Amino acid sequence: MTTPIRVILVDDQELIRLGFRLVLEAEPDVEVVGEAADGDQALRAVAAHAPDVVLMDIRMPRTDGIAATRSIVAAHPSTRVLVLTTFDLDEYAVGALDAGASGFLLKDAHRSELTAAIRAVHRGDAVLAPSVTRRLIDRLHAAPPVTEHTSPVGDPTTELTHREREVFTAIARGMNNTEIAGHLFLSESTVKTHVGRVLAKIGARDRVHAVILAHRHRLVDASAPRSDERSTT
């Protein structure tokens, strides 16, 4: 029997947590192992229960979701954080992803989207609300480029092979494994292997982080076609 995905719910509204619990406990491969009403409680809950995934609200009293995400990712790198918020605002999305979240969804996401997102971040993929993806990339390209004078880190792709660089570029354009396989005429299992090697070589924790690195370093043409109207990458 497959080990269930262990989840902690973090939201300052008890009814919201109850609703998420009812949804998730109906899934055979998900187990809710704890709850928290703010960021401080979330840190303690993660330390106590070692969850696979944390569903994290943003606006909470005391320690907010972005600060809590940063602390959780730093102290528990194997735990993935999926941010859920009512507010479709750029600063929340970028702040959460910069803090180390593996995904960002709005609370009006469908039940199937939520459960699919939990499974996606658990297996190491990244999740973005469709309304966030394009604005995130546009915002990164509107910022000043990273240079040797602004960052001690150079081009993170220098160790990639030619094929790995092609895969990296496809990831940065928002393609999922199936799309990359079709684009590069590879099997999905081969793509999955390449993706793992790419993330390891560039020091990215997941695909969202890879996208951020690619666009901050201007390694992808902002005008190039990209698949950005989906909830998972």
**Tell me, what's the pLDDT at 233?**
44
Sign of the torsion formed by the C-alpha atoms of 193, 195, 198 and 203:
negative
Can you give the pLDDT at residue 40? 95
Sheet containing 53-56, strands listed edge to edge, beginning at the edge strand earlier in sequence: 30-36, 5-10, 53-56, 80-85, 103-106, 127-128
User: Which residue segments constitute the domains of the chain, with CATH numbers given?
Assistant: 5-124 (3.40.50.2300), 144-216 (1.10.10.10)
- Tell me how crowded residue 59 is: count the other CB atoms within 10 A of its CB: 13
pTM, two decimal places? 0.71
3-state helix, strand and coil shares in percent for the chain, rounded to the nearest 5: 50, 15, 40
HEC profile of 24-63: HHCCCCEEEEEEECCHHHHHHHHHHHCCCEEEECCCCCCC
Q: How far is CA 11 from the centre of its chain?
A: 18
Amino acid identity for residue 78 in this structure? S
Whole-angstrom Cα distance, residue 139 to residue 101?
Answer: 18
Beta-carbon count within 10 A of 76 CB: 16
Give the Cα separation of 59 and 44 in Å (integer).
18
Run means of pLDDT, 10 residues per run, the chain, 233 residues:
91 94 95 96 96 94 90 93 77 77 86 92 78 62 52 71 92 83 92 92 82 75 47 42
Q: What is the pLDDT of residue 132?
A: 63
pLDDT at 230: 41
pLDDT at 17: 94
**Cβ-contact 179, 230 below 8 angstroms:** no
Per-residue pLDDT at 30: 96
Query: How far apart, in whole angstroms, are the C-alpha atoms of residue 219 and residue 140?
Result: 12
